[in-house]
Structure 1
Amino acid sequence: MTLYLVDGAHRATEAPDRPVLDIRGLTKVYGQGEATVHALRGVSLSIAAGDYVAIMGSSGSGKSTLMNILGCLDVPSAGTYRLDGVDVSRLDDARLALVRNRRIGFVFQSFNLIPRTSAVANVELPLAYAGVKPAERRRRALAALDMVGLAGRADHEPNQLSGGQQQRVAVARALVTEPALILADEPTGNLDSRSTEEVLAILDQLHAAGRTIVMITHETDVAARARRLVTLFDGRITTDVRQGGAR
């Protein structure tokens, strides 16, 4: 099952078996001469629909650079990147912004919620950018909040919510466009142990429901919840293994 954009809306449609995310020979080079930095050195990775992948690596390993490219926040120096069948490697800024809004659901460490704005309005934002009508935006946002167990907090502003609840609002916002890929960057980095467990339990449920999740983390216990672990070192993938409980 793959999500396609049809008449301005994402709809689940039976499709040929193909990766949701497929990168081949990806390189990223910053600077010139003696200041040249090779952040990625020929990275290749394929992720199937419904997979749950954790990407780990020490500082300078290239994981942040890879995250930015996967999220269409940056472009590679060489190589190809296909997201849900679309080659995004050479798209211009306007088209990259469209892909980010419609095909990727982001969950950030710092939540990135708008202050003094209700939870439901925060969740509606990607739909507003996509031009979805207000009534439909509200319906879909409330449904997404219900999925993360916060239907009763729809009118609460971020400062009225715990850190774990704010991150769950961020997860709802990531889900509301029915993206092909959920990209979570250190999603538990600012949470206590209880809130961490709440957020990871939701990611587990989303994986069980068939969502495709890629999570960047430096925490081994968080990475252990994923079904596949990819490790980067010096701009290259050094390990790519299935973990316990893999489907």
Structure 2
Amino acid sequence: MITIKNLSKVYDTGSIQVKALNEVDLHVEKGDFVAIVGASGSGKSTLMNIIGCLDKPTSGHYVLDGVQTETMHPEKLAEIRNLKIGFVFQSFNLIPRTSALHNVELPMIYAKYPRKERLVKAERALERVGLEDRIHHKPNELSGGQKQRVAIARALVNDPAIILADEPTGNLDSHSTEEIMGIFKDLNDEGATIILVTHEPDIAEQAKRVVTFKDGQIIDDIRNEQKGASI
């Protein structure tokens, strides 16, 4: 699903060069559930931006679902980003004045789905995360956990190759966190490939695999199928 080889990212500030990623190698199979951890400045966010086609590496290779991305034109990259990647953010990134249903529709509007198909798929995605009774509610009428469920439904609606979740429980209480992680686990059991960035050890432990970054490099890559499967 994802193959990263000799990936480096250098930021040139003018006076100095900062190497955010240093020849990283990473392979993620379809159906995996990977947590990426590391201190601030370790390179995990830079990697997520590249995996999400929001940034390009300085050197190296990144293949997503059979597509080599690092040399792509920005317009093509945006198309890949919309069709192959579902994003879930800590701050939800919902449009405030519109319904849950319309928020979930948005990726399909960009993908030019017919309206009837958009509505059917959006409703099914919201049902999938247990929000069938909240489809016409606006974000200010939803709890934090419900907002994140809308965000997950939006991430799912185009049937992406991977779901990228950046600190998805960072703004949630413990009960909502448990519910959201349960949804991610269920989605993974159904075959979804999930990559999650977190600074919380108890969240990382619920993934099948934990990849640890330090100084722009992977220093640990531990698979724990049994623990991931038992949560």
**Do Structure 1 and Structure 2 share a fold, with TM-score over 0.5?**
yes
Aligned to 1:117: 98
Aligned to 1:146: 127
SS of alignment partner, residue 107 of structure 2: helix
Aligned to 2:69: 88
Aligned to 1:7: none
RMSD, matched Cα: 1.0
Superposed, 1:211-230 pairs within 5 Å as 211-230=192-211
TM-score by length of 2: 0.97
Count of aligned residue pairs for this structure pair: 228
Shift of 1:62: 0.5
TM-score by length of 1: 0.91
Shift of 1:146: 0.4
Aligned to 2:227: 245
1:192 aligns with 2:173: yes
Aligned to 1:79: 60
4+ runs deviating over 6 angstroms: none
Aligned to 2:41: 60
Please list every run of 5 or more consecutive structure 1 residues that lacks an aligned counterpart in the other structure. 1-19
1:82-141 deviation line (CA, Å, top 9, x unaligned): 000000111111011001100000000000000110000000000000000100000000
Aligned to 2:51: 70
Letter of the 1:200 counterpart: M
1:178 aligns with 2:159: yes
Letter of the 1:93 counterpart: P
Structure 1 distance, partners of 2:197, 2:73, is 25
Structure 1 distance, partners of 2:182, 2:148, is 12
Shift of 1:35: 1.4
